[in-house]
Structure 1
């Protein structure tokens, strides 16, 4: 077995007992587990000790490919996830399940509309262990089979880790007037287009109903994700469809002040119903069909290239799964009022380690970004550049600060309607073997403590950083508070414009200078909300 990518396929069901009860001191892979849908066999996550910080690796069981909902092909295409079917033989949960179309270009994976499956890593030695649970939502162009999202490192800390697949592209986000009629008949809500979002919420519901039999506590679920996965987490946090099902939320590289135009492409991004209906009609016509019934009969391959063809699919503001604009939910309060951990990396969302930008290009970018009034001049005063080298640094600094300030401002808005703590981080460590700096996604290996799973020239320093990062995140998953022994104290976000530095340093630092924070505040105040 290749322990660097612990394989796990699995079943989809509520466990009601053990087919062959194992001793309380025995890992669950020594048992065949009886579930609501059939028997399931898990496997050791590791065949030998992985390199890194893991101490309980021998106890970790992994189940792969457990269906949490039915095949989404045919009549289930463009519909909410349906309940999974049962099976008669023991499900050999050794390999990852199918992945959803349009999710990835990895030709080594099996692409199928029968893709709503999840994977579980559990260190439990008893189905009654009641360990805290975390559900990981992956970023765009990824799948639950990606080694970057291996759950063994988090399970080593006494946490049941779950990741899952969800629909994307037209399969996950197509809206259409006919589909609105179907949803209205079923729910009384005139909406469609959020099939991927409903998959994400169905995964939470499945975990709540079934995870106890894998040693997890159904009343202690943290939802967690990065980038597009942070959007999934934010949807779950806000939606009344998941109210009461989660205990904490971790939103990596996601939320901003709702005035920031970056919100259109981050966790807060969405399409209006008007846009979605028009696109759905155009999409149907482009496929040379006139009805949803005909669209459901087309081969899967006919619907896979939509991004390349210029279609723009994503979350829909449907006032059902997504109940309101994020500015409204920030004011009125989210459906799930829980502690939140959120933050950004240094070199993302416009910031790049090296852009080789010239002064002329930098000035043009300022004019294009801050298009009205005297804003570009004011930003140039605080982010000056009189040669190309300084232009490169000023460009990176301005976009990095925008992320930090925007996220900190989101926490201030969140605090107005919530009495739960928010913890905000800033990650600046560049993983070895690359030249992109602390790029988008660069914190994931460290947070999940799974450096063993990916092929980079890790150093002793990287393992040290991973131990601390995973310590903060696992503490938060367990307690709603990242603090613990051996870690620099992390205070909840307050109105003092500070953020917790992680990576190349540890502890509170200013979000930005007071003048820069004030400038972003003033600029954001002139813009509409998203």
Structure 2
């Protein structure tokens, strides 16, 4: 199941390559910025200047592989920033026509720790929006045109997109790696890359017209998961002022050395992978090519997680938020109604009929099975299965983030994206995972080749314009707004949600009993300490641990 998940999940990171001006343009015609990191010569596209492929850290090769990022030294000569840099090493999956996320991969390299900047016209102390791509921590890049920052820049926001190490190269722990670390820890290198990119922004973004005191971090799917961990990590304290999490998932994660919530330790998984790919020690691992490590570790079923190491990731993410130890900043979070329609590999095999469905649910959920079956009835098995996994991953996470942020005195704004259009609905992909991205980036005309084609009409553009407005105003002030569209109230006691379907509108209590059920189930799993929580919900659920007083 795990391997099929990673094999099929060619994530949202693959759009068509953004068009740029010819590299032959003379430097006299090109925008130039001099920052502490050096002088960068970009290109002008519309009303925005774009600076691509700026290295923020040294290439993590050889002895630097599996070590914290080292800041890039100041460039001694002007840097050509007209072209995107290589993407970080990742699996090359075959092109599956039904895979709407697929796109041909540009060149890969370990020298991939770069970022891209979209600078608004006449920018001066402009809000900054830092985008962290999705891809299950296994695939993706900041360069793809689905994430093009031009439309956000038109609203006066400096947009930054980043690359970070992926898969085993970015997240593998190992006892030898821990032994050479001053903190006696390993793994989480991709998260350290994200933190280093934010430090680069803090030092340099003023030169691009951005305000280093007004930074919003944002991401979708694994990018949203990353944003949650930046909220939770002490190492990221003070590097951002707001956070956006789209389709984030608050799943359980392994401990560095201990078995934690049903996960083998991260170090033991690293030993297993090293042996599986034919490397008996760290020296041999560092001799292997990055491509070989990526291919062989993926084939061996490496599970890409953040690691609870007590320092970078101080505790299980649920515990950090329960303790109120996360960053106390305004958040905007949400999910899509059809998340699992494009992620069916996350679903267990369907039952033969109503009787088998109900029997399996009663066996797994015991004393709360009646509640489960009222919410996810056997009369509509396919829909119930789609909603069960969606709610366990994305819906529950969205509301939990909102409740925990408001508990520490921060504003929280939540949404449900429920918009469909003919090509997506005909394919059974109404409001699928990632469907909101071209709307909130304003890239509805620049989606990947297999993406269900979005109509080029006034209605779709109006919805996109509203979402771009809401997201950029949140980055500017911490409160989302859009002229001519409804006021977006904070979550609050009324549990307000902004729903994006044909147009934006506000309703209350979207998750209702669904949230209460998932919270109860996760609470019992956490209390037992030996069960994971992720997409193992509904028909994929193990037998629920016994009731405990703390889980009411």
Instruction: Tell me the TM-score range normalised by the shorter chain.
Output: 0.7 to 0.9
Question: Greater RCO between the two (CA within 8 Å, min separation 6)?
Answer: 2
The 8 Å contact of residues 55 and 114 in structure 2, kept in 1 or not, is answered as yes
C-alpha distance in 1 between matches for 2:276 and 2:192: 26
The 8 Å contact of residues 124 and 214 in structure 1, kept in 2 or not, is answered as no
Residues 1:170 and 2:168 are matched in the alignment: yes
Residues 1:111 and 2:108 are matched in the alignment: yes
The 8 Å contact of residues 229 and 317 in structure 2, kept in 1 or not, is answered as no
Q: Which residue in 2 is equivalent to 1:408?
A: 399
Q: Which one of 74, 77, 81 corresponds to residue 93 of structure 1?
A: 81
The 8 Å contact of residues 494 and 509 in structure 2, kept in 1 or not, is answered as no
- The CA deviation string for residues 193-243 of structure 1, in whole angstroms up to 9 with x for no partner, is 111110011111111111111111111110000000011111111111111
Q: Which residue in 2 is equivalent to 1:55?
A: none
C-alpha distance in 1 between matches for 2:514 and 2:288: 53
TM-score norm. by structure 2 comes to: 0.79
Secondary structure at the aligned position of 1:528 is classed as helix
1:13-32 equivalent positions in 2, closer than 5 A = 30-32=30-32
C-alpha distance in 1 between matches for 2:22 and 2:174: 34
Secondary structure at the aligned position of 1:372 is classed as helix
Q: Which residue in 1 is equivalent to 2:228?
A: 234
The 8 Å contact of residues 224 and 248 in structure 2, kept in 1 or not, is answered as yes
Q: Which residue in 2 is equivalent to 1:53?
A: none
Secondary structure at the aligned position of 1:44 is classed as strand
Structure 1 ranges of 4+ moved more than 6 A: 350-353, 355-359
- Please say which of residues 288-297 and 101-110 is displaced more in the overlay: 101-110
Change (3 A) 1:378 1:298: same
Q: Which one of 368, 372, 376 corresponds to residue 375 of structure 1?
A: 368
Q: Which residue in 2 is equivalent to 1:137?
A: 132
Q: Which one of 180, 183, 191 corresponds to residue 181 of structure 2?
A: 183
Change (3 A) 1:443 1:293: same
Change (3 A) 1:233 1:523: closer
1:295-334 equivalent positions in 2, closer than 5 A = 295-305=285-295, 306-334=297-325
Q: Which one of 230, 242, 253 corresponds to residue 247 of structure 2?
A: 253
The 8 Å contact of residues 249 and 340 in structure 1, kept in 2 or not, is answered as yes
Change (3 A) 1:32 1:472: closer
C-alpha distance in 1 between matches for 2:219 and 2:22: 21
C-alpha distance in 2 between matches for 1:236 and 1:303: 27
TM-score norm. by structure 1 comes to: 0.82
C-alpha distance in 2 between matches for 1:255 and 1:335: 16
- The CA deviation string for residues 483-525 of structure 1, in whole angstroms up to 9 with x for no partner, is 2422211111123344221233433323348555554454444
Change (3 A) 1:358 1:234: closer
Q: How many Å apart are 1:356 and its aligned residue?
A: 13
C-alpha distance in 1 between matches for 2:256 and 2:319: 15
Change (3 A) 1:299 1:310: same
The 8 Å contact of residues 346 and 427 in structure 1, kept in 2 or not, is answered as yes
Residues 1:471 and 2:469 are matched in the alignment: yes
Secondary structure at the aligned position of 1:453 is classed as coil
Q: How many Å apart are 1:412 and its aligned residue?
A: 2.0
The 8 Å contact of residues 351 and 399 in structure 1, kept in 2 or not, is answered as no
Q: How many Å apart are 1:381 and its aligned residue?
A: 2.9
Q: Which residue in 2 is equivalent to 1:422?
A: 412
C-alpha distance in 2 between matches for 1:502 and 1:68: 36
C-alpha distance in 1 between matches for 2:39 and 2:158: 20
Residues 1:5 and 2:18 are matched in the alignment: yes
The 8 Å contact of residues 362 and 395 in structure 1, kept in 2 or not, is answered as no
C-alpha distance in 1 between matches for 2:291 and 2:91: 13
Secondary structure at the aligned position of 1:221 is classed as strand
- The CA deviation string for residues 346-368 of structure 1, in whole angstroms up to 9 with x for no partner, is 01258989x99977456645655
C-alpha distance in 2 between matches for 1:499 and 1:361: 35
Q: Which residue in 2 is equivalent to 1:281?
A: 271
Q: How many Å apart are 1:460 and its aligned residue?
A: 2.2
The 8 Å contact of residues 128 and 214 in structure 2, kept in 1 or not, is answered as yes
Q: Which residue in 2 is equivalent to 1:16?
A: none
Q: How many Å apart are 1:33 and its aligned residue?
A: 2.6
Secondary structure at the aligned position of 1:425 is classed as strand
> How many matched pairs?
480
Q: How many Å apart are 1:478 and its aligned residue?
A: 0.5
C-alpha distance in 1 between matches for 2:229 and 2:397: 19
Structure 2 unaligned runs (5+)? Answer: 1-15, 94-102, 259-264, 528-532, 534-552
Secondary structure at the aligned position of 2:51 is classed as strand
1:207-222 equivalent positions in 2, closer than 5 A = 207-222=201-216
Structure 1 unaligned runs (5+)? Answer: 11-19, 23-28, 46-57, 257-262
Q: How many Å apart are 1:311 and its aligned residue?
A: 1.6
- Please say which of residues 516-525 and 159-168 is displaced more in the overlay: 516-525
Q: How many Å apart are 1:132 and its aligned residue?
A: 0.4
